[in-house]
Amino acid sequence: MKKYIFIAVIVATGLTFTACNSVFDDLAVNPNQQDVNSFYTTPENVDKGIKGIYSYITTPRAMGVSGTRLMVNRSDEESDRTDYGVPGQYCASLTPSWYTLVQPFQLFYTAAAQACQMIESIPAAEFTDQQLKNAYLGEAYFLRAYCHWFLFTNWRNIPLMNRFPRNSMDYKPQAAPEDTWKFIISDLEQAKELLPKKGYWTGNNTGRVTSGTATALLGKAYLYRSGIEKFFGGSTTEYYNEAAQNFNEIIAGQHGAYKLVDNYDDNFRVATENNDESILEWQFLGDAVNTNFNPGLANSGVWRDPRGVQPISFVSINGHVVHQWVYDAFVASKDADGFTDPRMFGTLIFDDTASEIKARPGNQVIVFDGKTFREYYTKAGTDRHDFGLVLAGGENYKSACRKGIDWTLPTTNPGNGMWIGNLRANGMNYIEIRYADVLLMYAEAVVNGGSQGSLSALQSINLVRARKSVNMPALTTVNMDAIEKERILELTGEGQRFYDLLRWGKLVSRFKALETSDPYFKQFNNSAYLGFQENKNEWLPIPVDEVEGNPYITTNNPGWN
């Protein structure tokens, strides 16, 4: 599907995208364009409209880089010197007008408005295939829910896009968090009932969401709601039963057969994208031809910009580093035969010849052009090998994350523009929810009192550890400490860690501990690190254009002017 998203007829929706005014002004209907009621009346045009929603989400300014860097770099895992990394560096550069905040905020609302338009149009469209009609409607409900999920878990105090804007003055007030949770959950329940099971979408439609996708995000919403509202909303209501029930439906195969792939690394390779472990995977296409950053134009691409994602390299300085505590966590983790946790080799770029590393035969760190870490990072005529050879400051760190990069790309242009130095050539998909994550979230829900389903919490976590290529020793007991450690080893660099700490109520204490113990924590930066500020940095600032343009919004999120 990623080959066709960018050619969807988005302009027929009457939506526009600018960096000015309120986002709700930007979504006004243009009376000079074709009326949507006369356009979305056939299966073919409905399909174009749904693909248009995906295209807003997978543009580089949304999940193509801005969104994923928000999700990854706001945690305690990495430091990032790029412009996309600023929201996670808690530095002096971060303001409510920072463009890598403003643009995803706008694009996710634009996508949500397009979803509203499809929800309002599809029921009247003429279909001979009712299952296909339901599938399209289910996609619209899911994508609207996802847009609000992304906005809510990052900005919290958000307006709800619950219908397509009627005019340029159709402003929305900020919703109470309880109402936002209900809205997201209601849309996901609708999507779950309407969407087809895994296996329905094939060929060029591979990657479209299914009932399994909706069920997994619904379980995740209940899990997050239980923790986030406990620490930020004052509510003691728990939804661990609902979370466990939805996760168990995935485990029991009610929405299709999901399973752990034998090779952990196959979750992060272009050749093995959309595998049996994938539940929600955003589709990207290495594209050196369609190069516009924003959707709605004929030359808009859906590549995944690697700035801030790739490690420091001699090709580009737009990289990141991983903090020492992550490296140490992997070094301390040993498989059943006493070798270094094999997941370290699929997660990090590091010197695998270091004395603290005991690599299982066959496990090796390969970076650019098939070179080992030492071959690539060793200075000629010396035995020095570190990131400081490329960019000053890198010598203070031992590792970077290898996930999210198409490592098959060469470092020099082969003549077709598809090389790693061309930011538009990286087409690596982003798996936001995979089966291993569901197993760990299920274990968390059960440990916190949710009803046990097909598996016990211990069986669930041990399934993850027993993956064929991983072969970690089985745990004999399970508690939250074990689950938290396993999530680090399994999911580092995938955009889950910040929100784990958020719902566990550990953000402030975790950042303060690292600021005290690690002199290089968040120091690989483009401006001064200000420290993680309680009652401020838990949520991002609402973009200044929205605060000034929407009469219902009189103040920004706490701590932001």
Report which secondary-structure segment, H or E, holds 279: strand 278-282
Q: How many domains does the chain have?
A: 2
Domain presence at residue 232: no
Domain presence at residue 84: yes
Domain presence at residue 272: no
- For residue 44, pLDDT beyond 70: yes
Summarised one tens digit per residue, pLDDT across range 116-147 is 999 999 999 999 999 999 999 999 999 999 99
Q: Give residue 499's pLDDT.
A: 98
- For residue 5, pLDDT beyond 70: no
Domain presence at residue 313: no
Q: Give residue 363's pLDDT.
A: 96
CB atoms near residue 170 (< 10 Å): 14
Which residues have C-beta within 8 Å of that of residue 441, sequence separation ≥ 6? 219, 220, 223, 243, 247
Q: Report the mean per-residue pLDDT for the chain.
A: 92
Summarised one tens digit per residue, pLDDT across range 203-225 is 999 999 999 999 999 999 999 99
Interstrand relation of 78-80 and 320-322 (parallel, antiparallel or unpaired)? antiparallel
Q: What is the CATH number of the domain that holds 26?
A: 1.25.40.390
Q: Are 245 and 453 in contact (CB under 8 A)?
A: yes
- For residue 1, pLDDT beyond 90: no
Q: Which of 16-30, 84-98, 297-311 has the lowest mean pLDDT?
A: 16-30
The tokens describing 132, both together, are: 């296909």
Domain presence at residue 43: yes
Q: Which of 401, 433, 467 marks a domain boundary?
A: 401
Task: Name the pTM for this structure.
Answer: 0.94
H-state helical runs in 42-166: 43-57, 66-73, 99-121, 130-155
- For residue 201, pLDDT beyond 80: yes
**pLDDT category, 33, cuts 50, 70, 90?**
low
Question: Are both 168 and 58 inside the same structural domain?
Answer: yes
Residue type, 419: W
Report which secondary-structure segment, H or E, holds 370: none
**pLDDT category, 7, cuts 50, 70, 90?**
very low
Domain presence at residue 236: no
Q: Are 48 and 91 in contact (CB under 8 A)?
A: no
> Three-state SS for 184?
helix
Domain presence at residue 154: yes
Summarised one tens digit per residue, pLDDT across range 436-475 is 999 999 999 999 999 999 999 999 999 999 999 999 999 9
Summarised one tens digit per residue, pLDDT across range 470-501 is 999 999 999 999 999 999 999 999 999 999 99
Summarised one tens digit per residue, pLDDT across range 171-183 is 999 999 999 999 9
Domain presence at residue 40: yes
Percent of the chain with pLDDT over 90: 86
- For residue 22, pLDDT beyond 80: no
- What mean pLDDT comes out for the span 239-253? 98
Q: Which of 401, 430, 453 marks a domain boundary?
A: 401
- For residue 365, pLDDT beyond 90: yes
Q: Are 478 and 452 in contact (CB under 8 A)?
A: no
Q: When comparing pLDDT for 317 and 334, which is higher?
A: 334
Note down the domain range covering 82. Answer: 1-195+501-561
- What mean pLDDT comes out for the span 417-423? 94
Percent of the chain with pLDDT over 70: 93
Q: Which of 381, 401, 421 marks a domain boundary?
A: 401
Q: Are 255 and 198 in contact (CB under 8 A)?
A: yes
Question: Are both 359 and 505 inside the same structural domain?
Answer: no
Summarised one tens digit per residue, pLDDT across range 80-96 is 999 999 999 999 999 99
Summarised one tens digit per residue, pLDDT across range 502-516 is 999 999 999 999 999
Q: Give residue 26's pLDDT.
A: 45
Question: Are both 7 and 155 inside the same structural domain?
Answer: yes
Q: Give residue 287's pLDDT.
A: 93
Q: Give residue 169's pLDDT.
A: 83
Question: Are both 190 and 62 inside the same structural domain?
Answer: yes
